């Protein structure tokens, strides 16, 4: 008789409630894990082959477990996670057979890729020779290293920590990473996938480079300048140093920061003022649309339709340039979903969900 264990890992997608395009600036964000998830099921093999079946996209990845594994494609995350873990003391004497499946819209701003990497890291650490079940924060860090640091990509830490930890989190990146769980009781949301393709890497780099250029220019002249501390009423002093577009971008960044701080206070109150949360979501969207310019005409129509159908608030989700929006709709939920779909979006009724978790099925053969 041969004993083996089948491991199942489930990880949520996420929406960024407040602080879009803020985490890579070391500014705080508020994110919520959502009830659309990715799952990995698998067990060890008798050899060193990694066999990953991806039926949702009619694809697969098969490669030998020969460390360090060489990358042969952009964003080679299945391999990078193994390399990162190996450099941090995890060893693998066996390969795996596993299947990936999920309901998170792909390349649509709901962190499908980060959720997959979180699930994969969770799977790998337990399937390693060390067989460790580690904390959500540790999983998040290893996934961030595998996704962002390993390939020098422009993203922040929001996606990894929100999908690993789950629920609603307030994430600060400066002066150190700090994750605070917010136990607010929120109602249902409607996620709307515009089904417009998006170039996440390009959008992130464009917006990030713009504001970082402004910050660098101001810090060279004013060493005390800080996005963390500057008040909205202080921006006028820089009109001689920046052009109109740069001033607007700086102002939008500070307004988004302040909305996020205010939203945290509202979410920590009991009971939550649901209409105020909705109003702030829409306020955030106005800045993302008009100043950061990451929305699209179709997503704008979907948001307008959701608000007219009774949503308390709505905004684009993720880096922008396509992908998803979401509406906070604890009332008239079905009507809001229908309104979004009439504008050409694909609607999903969702709620805040738990983070990555796993279960083991013992079996024999």
Interior CA angle at 163 toward 293 and 44, to 5°? 135
pLDDT score, position 198: 78
Helix (H, G, I), strand (E, B) or coil at 88: coil
Residues in the chain predicted with pLDDT less than 50, given as ranges, are 1-3, 365
Residue 119 φ then ψ, to 5° = -60, -40
- Whether residue 42 sits in one domain with residue 70: yes
Report pLDDT digits (tens) over 249-260: 999 999 999 999
Contact 120, 81 (CB under 8 A): yes
> Distance from CA of residue 351 to its chain's centroid?
16
Element (H, E) at 288: helix 274-290
Query: Cβ contacts of residue 355 below 8 Å, gap of 6+?
Result: 11, 12, 33, 136, 163, 164, 165, 166, 167
- Whether residue 156 sits in one domain with residue 170: yes
pLDDT score, position 2: 39
- Whether residue 240 sits in one domain with residue 176: no
Cis peptide before 323 (omega within 30 of 0): no
pLDDT score, position 362: 66
Cβ-count burial 88-125 (b if 16+ within 10 Å, e if not): eebebebbbebbbebbbbeebbbbbbbbbbbbbbbbbb
List the one residue out of 32, 2, 30, 142 whose CA is nearest residue 77.
142
Q: Indicate the number of domains in the chain.
A: 2
User: Can you state the percent helix, strand and coil of the chain, rounding each to 5?
Assistant: 40, 25, 35
Contact 177, 132 (CB under 8 A): no
Cis peptide before 175 (omega within 30 of 0): yes
Strands 313-316 and 324-328, sheet pairing: antiparallel
- Whether residue 255 sits in one domain with residue 165: no
- Whether residue 266 sits in one domain with residue 221: yes
- Whether residue 308 sits in one domain with residue 170: no
pLDDT score, position 1: 32
Contact 51, 100 (CB under 8 A): no
Q: What is the CATH number of the domain that holds 124?
A: 3.30.230.10
- Whether residue 280 sits in one domain with residue 177: no
pLDDT score, position 3: 43
- Whether residue 93 sits in one domain with residue 160: yes
pLDDT score, position 363: 57
- Whether residue 177 sits in one domain with residue 269: no
- Whether residue 212 sits in one domain with residue 160: no
- Whether residue 178 sits in one domain with residue 203: no
List the one residue out of 254, 267, 113, 256 whose CA is nearest residue 180.
267
Could you list the residue range(s) of the whole structural domain that residue 136 is in? 3-182+356-364
pLDDT score, position 60: 97
pLDDT score, position 205: 73
Q: What is the CATH number of the domain that holds 290?
A: 3.30.70.890
- Whether residue 235 sits in one domain with residue 158: no
């Amino acid at each position: 008789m041969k004993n083996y264990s089948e491991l199942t890992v489930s990880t949520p997608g996420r929406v960024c409630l407040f602080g879009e395009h803020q985490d890579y600036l070391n500014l705080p964000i508020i994110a919520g894990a959502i009830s659309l998830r990715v799952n990995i099921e698998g067990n060890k093999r008798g050899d060193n082959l990694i066999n990953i079946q991806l039926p949702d996209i009619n694809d697969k990845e098969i490669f030998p477990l020969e460390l360090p594994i060489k990358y042969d494609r952009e964003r080679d995350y299945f391999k990078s996670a193994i390399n990162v873990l190996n450099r941090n003391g995890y060893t693998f004497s066996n390969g795996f057979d596993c299947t990936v499946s999920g309901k998170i819209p792909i390349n649509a701003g709901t962190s499908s890729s980060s959720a997959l990497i979180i699930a994969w890291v969770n799977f790998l650490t337990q399937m390693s020779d060390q067989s460790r079940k580690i904390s959500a924060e540790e999983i998040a860090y290893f996934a961030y290293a595998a996704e962002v640091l390993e390939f020098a990509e422009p993203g922040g830490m929001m996606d990894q920590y929100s999908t690993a930890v789950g629920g609603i989190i307030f994430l600060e990146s400066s002066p150190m990473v700090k994750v605070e769980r917010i136990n607010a009781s929120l109602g249902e949301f409607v996620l709307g996938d515009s089904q417009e393709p998006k170039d996440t890497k390009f959008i992130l780099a464009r917006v990030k480079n713009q504001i970082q250029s402004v910050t660098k220019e101001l810090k060279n002249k004013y060493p005390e300048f800080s996005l963390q501390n500057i008040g909205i009423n202080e921006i006028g002093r820089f009109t001689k140093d920046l052009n109109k577009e740069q001033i607007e971008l700086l102002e939008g960044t500070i307004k988004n920061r302040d909305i996020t701080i205010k939203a945290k206070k509202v979410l920590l109150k009991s009971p939550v003022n649901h209409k105020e949360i909705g109003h702030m979501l829409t306020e955030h969207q106005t800045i993302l649309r008009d100043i950061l310019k990451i929305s699209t005409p179709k997503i704008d129509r979907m948001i307008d339709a959701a608000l007219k159908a009774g949503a308390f608030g709505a905004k684009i989700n993720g880096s922008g340039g396509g992908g998803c929006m979401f509406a906070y709709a604890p009332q008239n939920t079905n009507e809001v979903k229908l309104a979004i779909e009439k504008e050409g979006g694909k609607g999903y009724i969702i709620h805040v969900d738990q983070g990555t978790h796993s279960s083991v099925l013992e079996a024999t053969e």
